[in-house]
Amino acid sequence: MCLVSCTSQKVNQSSSDRLYKKENNELAAKYTIYHLNDSVSQLFYEISNESLLYKKADTTTSFYSHVKLFLKVSAEDNLGYTIDTASCFIIDRQTDAIVKYLRGSIFFKLKKGFSYYLDISVIDINKKIIYSHSEYSNKTNVESRQNFLITNSRNEVLFSSYFKPNDLVYAQSLRNQEKLYEVDYFKSNFRLALPPFSTEPMQHFSYKPDSVFSLYTKNDLLEVSLPPKGFFHLKTNNQTKDGVTFFVYESSFPKIKNTEQMIWATRYIMAKKEFDNCMLAEDKKAAIDKFWVDIAGSNERAKELIRKYYGRVQESNKLFTSFQEGWKTDRGMIYVVFGAPNKVTKRKNGEVWTYGEIGNPNSLVFSFIKVINPFTDNDYYLERNELFKAPWYQAVDMWRQGRIYLDN
């Protein structure tokens, strides 16, 4: 770990042309941040070895993977200022024991009272490929999610904020020593995103739980038995509503498995009558299959469209899930219909997605504003505009003609 000094010139945005693209996300890696104290934080990682290249140094040695994980920390309001860097090398040698995930953690400096962006690079040295990822870190208070480490019954760190129905998880915090916590339960039935040209005003979430209960710590651990659906919000401060949220989705999540989920996720490119017919059909599977075959023109083409479309839905769930499934969010809607943007520009309070070249007047540009949300740091709201109507219907029409919009 090293502390890097830089010039004080502010750079309030940074750009990436790989962040949400498929080839960048082929590496199945997960991360979670845990604030240990007022000055030091810890990044836990879990990297699947399926996408890593294993090779031999010579005929007498075993196959091995060689990975470098590099972390750069920037201030939220000055993305050009590097506050700290940290790195580690991970070598996995193949043995008789099967290892599916490379797990570990690294420490880095993070001063309390501020918010940050973490740029994470995983370098597969054997393959000569870099996978990029970014994480938002909130260290403005001691109540937020990253002040808690979530584990399972085997004391394994859990990286996701969403869980399976009736899961049993544990929460611990070095910065919170309360013995009693209040938990709010929400049934979580939110509508999917409106079209990007909609003039309907943004719906603000009303913080009104469906029920409330209390949890006590035992041996500095909170045991949380999750509900069959909805989400729990464990509060550490009743004044700010900040805390830890446990979202519960279907057992198959982030994948789309059952027929009703497929119909709902296809709503963006369906006419209302088509959607209603599918939902009311006695044989919903036959109805949704017929929809895809009709627009594709053949069974084989329909299979390809289905693979691509629901693949985007699944990626949206991985990337953009907040207090609702990723595909239902504003970023998920744009990702599913338009594909991954050519460039993502991160700003202090949001993201800008560019389809085409930056600065080209013919490029399509979507701006997303980061929403202050007690449940998640991954909530973004699209700045809608009636000018998006033409490109939206053009993209939808391409799907309905059996063609994949921006096959990336």
Walk me through the domains of the chain, giving residue ranges and CATH numbers: 1-140 (2.60.40.3880), 259-400 (no CATH)
Look at residue 12 and tell me whether its pLDDT is greater than 90. Answer: no
pLDDT band (50, 70, 90) for residue 1: very low
Q: Do residues 283 and 289 lie in contact, with contact meaning Cβ atoms separated by under 8 Å?
A: no
- Which pLDDT value is given to residue 57? 80
C-alpha–C-alpha distance, residues 292 and 311, integer Å? 15
Per-residue model confidence as pLDDT tens digits over 70-86: 999 999 888 888 999 99
Percent of all residues in the chain with a pLDDT value above 90, rounded to a whole number: 70
Burial class (CB in 10 A: 0-12, 13-18, 19+), 312: buried
Region 112-141 average pLDDT: 93
Using DSSP's 3-state secondary structure scheme, residue 181 falls into strand
Token pair of 3, please? 């502390």
C-alpha–C-alpha distance, residues 203 and 355, integer Å? 27
Give me the chain's average pLDDT, please: 90
Look at residue 238 and tell me whether its pLDDT is greater than 80. Answer: no
Q: Do residues 75 and 84 lie in contact, with contact meaning Cβ atoms separated by under 8 Å?
A: no
Lowest average pLDDT, out of 50-54, 145-149, 198-202, goes to 198-202
- Which pLDDT value is given to residue 97? 62
- Which pLDDT value is given to residue 227? 95
Using DSSP's 3-state secondary structure scheme, residue 325 falls into coil
CB proximity list for 144: less than 8 A, separation 6 or greater: 138, 242, 243, 244, 377
Distance from the Cα of residue 338 to its chain's centroid: 18
- Which pLDDT value is given to residue 200? 85
Per-residue model confidence as pLDDT tens digits over 203-231: 766 788 999 999 999 988 999 999 999 99
Q: Do residues 350 and 77 lie in contact, with contact meaning Cβ atoms separated by under 8 Å?
A: no
Name the β-bridge partners of 41.
35, 108
Name the β-bridge partners of 121.
70, 132
Per-residue model confidence as pLDDT tens digits over 281-317: 999 999 999 999 999 999 999 999 999 999 999 999 9
- Which pLDDT value is given to residue 189? 74
Report residue 63: phi and psi, to 5°. -65, 145
Region 131-144 average pLDDT: 91
Look at residue 151 and tell me whether its pLDDT is greater than 80. Answer: yes
Per-residue model confidence as pLDDT tens digits over 320-349: 998 889 999 999 999 999 999 999 998 878
Token pair of 257, please? 């498995």
Region 57-81 average pLDDT: 87
- Which pLDDT value is given to residue 14? 63
Token pair of 317, please? 């769930």
State how far the alpha carbon of 275 is from the alpha carbons of 10, 48, 106, 278, in Å: 49, 38, 48, 5
Radius of gyration of the chain (CA): 22
* Angle between helix 272-280 and helix 284-296 axes, rounded to 10 deg: 150
Look at residue 177 and tell me whether its pLDDT is greater than 80. Answer: yes
Per-residue model confidence as pLDDT tens digits over 106-126: 999 999 999 999 999 999 999
Percent of all residues in the chain with a pLDDT value above 70, rounded to a whole number: 95
Region 165-179 average pLDDT: 92
Distance from the Cα of residue 212 to its chain's centroid: 28
pTM value?
0.88
- Which pLDDT value is given to residue 9? 42
pLDDT band (50, 70, 90) for residue 352: very high
Look at residue 100 and tell me whether its pLDDT is greater than 70. Answer: yes
Top pLDDT among 111 and 26 is at 111
